[in-house]
């Protein structure tokens, strides 16, 4: 049975990662067509960073990911503190509302935001894409921060107030240092989700000239994929991999520190 399980696991890993490996190899293809190997070359990467049609969506992607993770981390952290301070029934209701956006298909969220922007007569573009990313990032930050709040000593905040600290001082010097690993995890997760998102970005900026990397790759794939897009996808994969490693290492570092 162990051999069967290992073979089954190996097949799944091959199915998941062989296409990514092929993409990485093709990103170094020096030939004119990706269907034919033309020798190892860094030319696709040089073409990538010389192509303004790709660089502009890259800038949009990075800036939106940074801003969305920043704002969603602030909003999500404050929301998590507020939810944590509620009584059991309101807290349970708020957690249900928080979990709904994470369980809904992205297309539902994207269409809903599109209808909202149309109803409010908001011109779709960079701002609407940013607002959409903040909207779907906030629940993930809340879910990341709440467990750290539950692990925190509830009396630390009250003790700080009894010793003369103001609520704001206690927030920044007592609560936030205790829940910092959850905040960092939520920020990295929201940054990763923002870079990776396609569906919500597509609907949030529909009808405008604003594109991020995911919408650019989607539109380019219909016309024919060039080697520079393989290079772009490889860079995105490496960035995501590094961020996911950081996210997974944060809780382990905290456990080692507590031990």
Q: What is the predicted pLDDT for the residue at 141?
A: 93
Q: What is the predicted pLDDT for the residue at 133?
A: 93
Average pLDDT in the 166-175 region? 83
Average pLDDT in the 17-37 region? 79
pLDDT confidence band for 259 (50 / 70 / 90): low
Q: What is the predicted pLDDT for the residue at 47?
A: 80
Rounded Cα distance, 115 and 110, in Å: 9
Rounded Cα distance, 149 and 241, in Å: 28
Rounded Cα distance, 107 and 58, in Å: 23
Q: What is the predicted pLDDT for the residue at 34?
A: 64
State the burial class of residue 113 (Cβ atoms within 10 Å of its Cβ: 0-12, 13-18, 19+).
Answer: buried
Encode pLDDT of 121-169 as tens digits.
888 889 999 999 999 899 999 999 998 888 887 777 778 877 777 888 8
End-to-end CA distance of the chain: 37
Rounded Cα distance, 32 and 88, in Å: 63
Q: What is the predicted pLDDT for the residue at 2?
A: 78
Q: What is the predicted pLDDT for the residue at 196?
A: 80
pLDDT confidence band for 27 (50 / 70 / 90): confident
Q: What is the predicted pLDDT for the residue at 243?
A: 72
Comparing 255 with 89, the larger pLDDT belongs to: 89
- Which residue, chain included where needed, has tokens 């996210």? 247
Q: What is the mean pLDDT of the chain?
A: 83
pLDDT confidence band for 79 (50 / 70 / 90): very high
pLDDT more than 70, % of the chain: 91
Q: What is the predicted pLDDT for the residue at 149?
A: 86
**CA 212, chain centre distance (Å):** 14
Nearest to 71 by CA among 117, 130, 123: 130
pLDDT confidence band for 227 (50 / 70 / 90): confident
pLDDT confidence band for 219 (50 / 70 / 90): confident
What is the residue extent of each domain of the chain? 54-258
pLDDT confidence band for 254 (50 / 70 / 90): low
Encode pLDDT of 30-59 as tens digits.
766 666 777 778 888 888 888 778 888 888
Structure tokens at 173: 């010097």
* CATH class of the domain comprising 54-258: mainly alpha
Rounded Cα distance, 4 and 247, in Å: 32
């Amino acid at each position: 049975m162990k051999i069967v399980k290992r073979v089954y696991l190996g097949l799944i890993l091959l199915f998941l990662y062989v296409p990514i490996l092929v993409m990485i190899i093709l990103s170094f293809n020096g030939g004119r067509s990706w269907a034919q190997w033309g020798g190892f070359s860094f030319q696709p990467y040089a073409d990538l960073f010389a192509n303004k049609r790709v660089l502009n969506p890259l800038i949009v992607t990075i800036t939106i990911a940074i801003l969305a993770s920043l704002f969603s981390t602030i909003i999500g952290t404050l929301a998590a503190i507020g939810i944590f301070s509620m009584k059991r029934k309101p807290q349970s209701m708020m957690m249900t509302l928080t979990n709904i956006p994470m369980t809904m298909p992205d297309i539902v969220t994207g269409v809903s935001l599109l209808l909202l922007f149309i109803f409010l007569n908001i011109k779709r573009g960079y701002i609407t894409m940013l607002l959409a990313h903040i909207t779907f990032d906030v629940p993930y930050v809340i879910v990341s921060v709440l467990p750290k709040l539950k692990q925190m000593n509830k009396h630390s905040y009250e003790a700080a107030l009894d010793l003369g600290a103001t609520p704001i001082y206690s927030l920044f010097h007592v609560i936030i240092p205790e829940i910092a690993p959850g905040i960092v995890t939520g920020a990295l997760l929201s940054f990763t989700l923002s870079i990776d998102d396609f569906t919500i970005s597509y609907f949030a900026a529909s009808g405008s000239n604003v594109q991020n990397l995911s919408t650019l790759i989607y539109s380019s794939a219909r016309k024919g994929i060039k080697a520079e897009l393989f290079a772009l996808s490889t860079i995105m994969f490496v960035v995501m991999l590094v961020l996911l490693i950081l996210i997974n290492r944060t809780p382990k570092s905290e456990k080692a520190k507590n031990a």
